[in-house]
Structures are given as C-alpha cells and as structure tokens.
Amino acid sequence: MLSRLSPSIRQYLVVTGNYWAFTLTDGALRMLVVLHFHTLGYSPLEIALLFLFYEIFGVITNLVGGWLGAHLGLNRTMNIGLGLQVAALAMLLVPAAMLTVPWVMAAQALSGIAKDLNKMSAKSSIKLLVSEQAQGQLYKWVALLTGSKNALKGAGFFLGGALLMLLGFAGAVTAMAAALTLVWLASLVLLKQDLGKAKSKPKFRDILSKSRSINILSAARLCLFGARDVWFVVALPVFLSQTLGWDHWQTGGFLALWIIGYGMVQAVAPRITGKAAGQVPNGRAAMLWAAVLTAVPALIALGLGMEINPAALLIGGLLLFGVLFAINSSLHSYLIVSLARADGVSLDVGFYYMANAMGRLLGTLLSGWVFQAAGLGASGLAACLWISTTLLLLTVLISIWLPRD
C-alpha cells in the first residue's frame, strides 16, 4: 500500500509520524511536571520557572536550528530532536531526592531544544514536499500537520494526568522514554537523507531574517502566543485545581479535550477561511481573525469580575477562544511556510519559530508571576486575561503591515 504512494507523500507520512510521537510525549511531560510539582507544594511562580530554560533554549534552538537544518539536512535535525527528548526523559528518572528545581530545569532545557528542532524540521520539510504553484495544497498539508499535532498534544495532556495517577511520576516517564526510543530508531532508518540541505551553504549571520514580511509575521506570532500562554500555561491549570477543586483527572482531561478540539479546528481551518472557494489567506485575513480573538479574553476577565459562575464561564470562554485561536494559528503556520524562501527554508522557518518561542517564554513567565502577584484566585486569572487582551491588540496592530498578496 505505502509503496504505491509518491515519495513526497511517504516522506510527509514519516515526518508527520515523528512529529506526532514527539508531541504526544511533550504534552504528557508538561502536564506531568505541572501537576506533580504542584502536588509537592511548589508555588505557581516556581512551576513557571521549571519551564524557563525550556522556553529560553527553544528561542536559541530555533535561531540556530534553522542554520543547522540548512547545513546538515532536516532529516538529521529531526532525528537529533527525537534523541534529545529521550535523554531529557531519562534525566527525570533519577531518585526523587535529586529532582531539584535546577535539575528539572536542565531536563526541560534539553526538552526545549528537542521540541524546537523537531518542530522546525517538520514545518520546513512541508515546503520542500509541495510544488511552489500548489498554494492551496500547501495550506491543506500545513493545516493537517499542525492540527493533528495539537490534537495529539491534547491527548498528551490527558496521558500525562492519567499516567501520573496510574503509574506515578517515575513510571510514567519510563513508559514514555521507552516508546519514544522505538520511534527514534525507526526514524533513523526511514527518513530521507539530506532533506532540506541548502544548495549554497548559508553563513551563520544569515540566521537573522532579512525579509520584511517574515519579520512582521514573526513579531505578530510572538504577541499571539504570548497572549495564549500568559493565562494557559500555569494560571489556568492551577486555578482549575486549586480554586475549583478539580482533581488531576479532571484538569488533565479537560485541557486535553480542549487541545484536541483546538487541533481539529486547525486541521479544517482552510475550509473555514475560504479554501473551498479557491482562496488562500493573506495578511489581511490574519489581522481580521486576530481582531475577533481579542474580544474573548477580555469578556472572560469581565465575567470573572462580575462573579459569574467561574466553571461555566471558563468552559464556554475556552471553547470560543480555542476555535478562534486555532484559526489564527493555522493562518500563521501557512503564511510562514508560504513566505519562506525555498533554498534554505529552515532559516526563515527557524527565525519565525524563534519568535514563537519568545512569545511562549514571555507568556510562561508572566503566567506564573502575575497569577501569584494578583492573588492566585479569580483576580489572578483575570489579571492574566487582561494582559492576554493587550498582547492580542498588539498582534492586530502589527498585522496591519503584513503583505496582502
């Protein structure tokens, strides 16, 4: 069956399979760390600091990883990412007394490098597997890759909460490390050699993008993902657990279903934004969808201030936010792959996802700090939501300068 598929389709399936497996363990690990260390009595700010190096090294990896991909080939950077994630999981298998904040931060740093090497390689590969003239097909493939990845990230959230309850922290990490090792060994055999290696070797200074369009899109991406993570990474799961009294199964399960639904919307975003009518999105579409999204965190914050039932408010607000954010994310993911140059595509994609990682870093730090400083309960979550609204307004303003064709 697979032998009848074109080489590009077979490589797309290998890339996607790698990305799926990695994302499942990455989502599960994040939920494991948040819930396990919250149970141990860590404050929200301390939990946020556990992910500090994850995000910082994500910034560095995207910047340097694009250059590495152009030199070594995307197959190698993807496989390096898978191997590093196995090593990061192994670092967490030390005795409980050694699981100090610095040690976990170091493991998260390795995981951050692994994640962004894997993501940059996967997104860049799609550009090389689709004809330059087939922009509709490119949008569809990018949406499917991104949407399926996020659906599995949501499954990873659920998996993390479930494994923590069933196997404990060490047992859960061991199971994930063993499964990912098998995927890594298969990838070493199946992934095409030299995919994405640039014809003309770029100099190290070329890691900084010189394209006005990509610089603007990257700045918009930074604000967009900062707006999500400022309330989603630490404030929301701790609020659900501590204020609403949800257990690990409820918190992990709800966030998992949210991410799965978010990924499903991403996968069908081309239909929502007009691909069925033969249209592909441009900068104006990105600006308009960001403007619609801006209203959602503001309305949730207002509802918390009016003491509306917080569980119903958050469930409804998160569903609406998830649909709109998924469309925004899918538009951005298509635009970067479309605007990136074909030779050395990983340089442009790496620079863009460096901005994405900076937004996540900003959001993660603010999520822990603002939530704790503003009172841990509804007032803390509302403060995070107002910062989210501000960052989304910046996204809209920056997007005004995106190309319209």
User: What's the CA gap between 333 and 326, in Å, rounded?
Assistant: 10
Q: What's the whole-model pTM score? A: 0.77
Query: In angstroms, how far is CA 319 from the centroid of its own chain?
Result: 18
pLDDT of residue 393: 97
Domain count, the chain: 1
Check residues 82 and 190 and name the one with the higher pLDDT.
82
Residues 180 and 89: their CA atoms lie apart, in Å, by 10
Q: Is residue 200 part of a domain?
A: no
72 assigned to some structural domain: yes
The answer to the question of residue 202 being in a domain is no
Give the pLDDT score at 197.
Answer: 57
**Is 366 among the domain residues?**
yes
For residues 289 and 178, the answer to whether their CB atoms sit within 8 Å is: no
Q: Which of 53, 31, 58 is nearest to 109 (CA)?
A: 53
Residue 237 confidence (pLDDT): 83
| Structure confidence at residue 296 as a pLDDT band (50, 70, 90) | very high
> Is the per-residue pLDDT at 392 higher than 80?
yes
Q: What is the pLDDT of residue 381?
A: 92
Residue bearing the bigger pLDDT, 171 or 3: 171
Is the residue at 20 inside a domain? yes
Burial class (CB in 10 A: 0-12, 13-18, 19+), 208: exposed
Mean per-residue pLDDT of the chain = 81
Q: What is the pLDDT of residue 305?
A: 87
- pLDDT for 44 equals 65
210: pLDDT confidence band, cut at 50, 70 and 90? low
Relative orientation angle of helices 212-232 and 378-399, to the nearest 10 degrees: 170
Residue ranges making up the domain that contains 255: 2-195+210-399
Residue 111 has pLDDT above 80, yes or no: yes
203 inside domain: no
Amino acid identity for residue 391 in this structure: L
| Range of lowest pLDDT (137-141, 161-165, 199-203, 298-302) | 199-203
CATH code: domain of residue 244: 1.20.1250.20
205 domain-assigned: no
User: What is the DSSP secondary structure assignment for residue 192, as one 8-state letter?
Assistant: P
62-109 tens-digit pLDDT: 777 766 766 777 778 888 888 999 999 999 888 877 878 788 888 888
Distance CA 133, CA 78 (A): 26
- pLDDT at residue 292 is higher than 90: yes
CA distances from 366 to 236, 347, 385 (A): 13, 29, 11
